[in-house]
Amino acid sequence: MRYASITERLASLGSEKWAVHVEARRRRDRGEPIIELTIGEPDLPPHRSLLEEATRAMHAGRYRYSNGRGEPPVVDALVRKYARRRPDVTSANVLCFPGTQTALFAVMLGLVEKGDAVLVGDPLYATYEGVIRATGAEQVTVPLRPERGFHMQAEDLEKSITPQCRVLLLNTPHNPTGAVLTAAEIAAIGEVCRRHDLWIVCDEVYEELVFSGSFASPFDDPGLAERTIVCSSISKSHAAPGFRSGWAVGPAEFASRLLAVSETMLFGVQPFIADMTAYALNNPIDTSARMRQSYRSRADRIVAGLADAPGLMPIPPEAGMFIVVDVSGTGMSSEAFAWALLDEEQVAVMPGSAFGNGADFVRMSLTVPDEKIDEACRRMSALAGRSGFRKELRA
């Protein structure tokens, strides 16, 4: 039988990237005491008021068909949120989706196709390549250098641009590294995009989890308004990943053109989840503040806990719910280290190879209690010590 070419383009870009996580879950489910540090699933539950609002809405009959743009209460809430950043935002700029992932997929589908190319910083979030290649476009990587704190540099972006490039997929705060671009860096990147007539699609799902300093975005620059699209959700900010509630906010013409794409894919999201999302956006809820505090503290614990581990160098994040640890000093690749850590120490981390150019590091989630963080550090240190012995044997 024949299949569409998209199945070939995405053949190795799905669950294969999460093989360590999938295997760790399998072992955990059969009773092994795995410390799981693989995915960004908040350890706090959603605020009780959000669950109550979703329940209220369901009992009020808010489970019928919706529309392609989004339910009026959540669209209005998103207008208020983004109008605080740029006063010209109206409902014509907003589209709602079930989560950031779907928003990114639809947005990319509306901007590029075969023969085009999309620029993205490398390391990159594991699903970005699939989102890009699903459209038929090619991925062009921009190096994010550890010596620059994994911050994208305008000069590196400039050097990476090819005639086929149409879009820059920007992620700040960044997954997996936790890097947060400054306003000056954003301005320099924006100038390159203006000069080369590039769209900027900005994944801002960790906006509320910046540990110190301020969050900056190309969306906030009126001079970039015609070319910037923000994608985000309540998955991280409100610890509600399973509710799948996200959005895209961009130029009115973009939203109008993409509406038919959205309607063809989904024809709306669940009204009771939209009502919960509107409540989340309209009311002061302390979930993100609590997560910020605990994730920053846990990152500090890992830095301290691995300080004397041979061959391991944790790189403190500036935001988010992950920390990357350089394992190159052990003489093992990130893939080999992650599998050895799972097999020998029952700790699951993501190999950096799942995130593009990340062969030197592993990514650790900060979403488990402090005592598990401390124990994971002890086990990683033990594995690192044994890896030194292995290197001597190979020599």
Domains of the chain: 5-45+287-394 (3.90.1150.10), 48-282 (3.40.640.10)
CB crowding 366-378: b at 16 or more within 10 Å, else e: bbbeeebbebbbe
Omega before residue 33 within 30° of 0, cis: no
User: What would the two tokens of residue 40 be?
Assistant: 């960004």
Tell me which amino acid residue 130 is. G
Q: CA-CA distance, 285 to 289, in Å (whole number)?
A: 8
Which whole-number Å values give the CA distances from 154 to 5, 39, 144, 209, 371, in the listed order? 34, 30, 11, 24, 41
Query: What ranges in the chain are assigned the alpha helix state H?
Result: 5-9, 19-29, 48-59, 72-83, 100-111, 128-134, 154-160, 183-195, 252-265, 271-282, 287-305, 334-345, 370-394
Query: What ranges in 196-327 are assigned the alpha helix state H?
Result: 252-265, 271-282, 287-305
Tell me which amino acid residue 251 is. P
Q: CA-CA distance, 274 to 272, in Å (whole number)?
A: 5
Q: CA-CA distance, 67 to 262, in Å (whole number)?
A: 10
CA nearest 299: which of 320, 280, 278? 320
pLDDT digits (tens, 9 = 90+) for 85-133: 999 999 999 999 999 999 999 999 999 999 999 999 999 999 999 999 9
Confidence of residue 388 (pLDDT cuts 50, 70, 90): low
3-class DSSP state of 203: strand
By the 8 A CB rule, do 335 and 353 touch? yes
Distance of CA 290 to the CA centre of its chain: 19
The pLDDT of residue 392 is 44
The pLDDT of residue 389 is 46
pLDDT digits (tens, 9 = 90+) for 260-310: 999 998 888 899 999 999 999 999 999 999 999 999 999 999 999 999 999
Distance of CA 17 to the CA centre of its chain: 15
Q: CA-CA distance, 141 to 128, in Å (whole number)?
A: 11
Ramachandran angles phi, psi of 166, nearest 5°: -120, -25
pLDDT reading at 79 higher than 60: yes
pLDDT digits (tens, 9 = 90+) for 339-373: 999 999 999 999 999 999 888 999 999 999 999 99
The pLDDT of residue 380 is 97
pLDDT digits (tens, 9 = 90+) for 148-158: 999 999 999 99
Tell me which amino acid residue 237 is. S
pLDDT reading at 58 higher than 60: yes
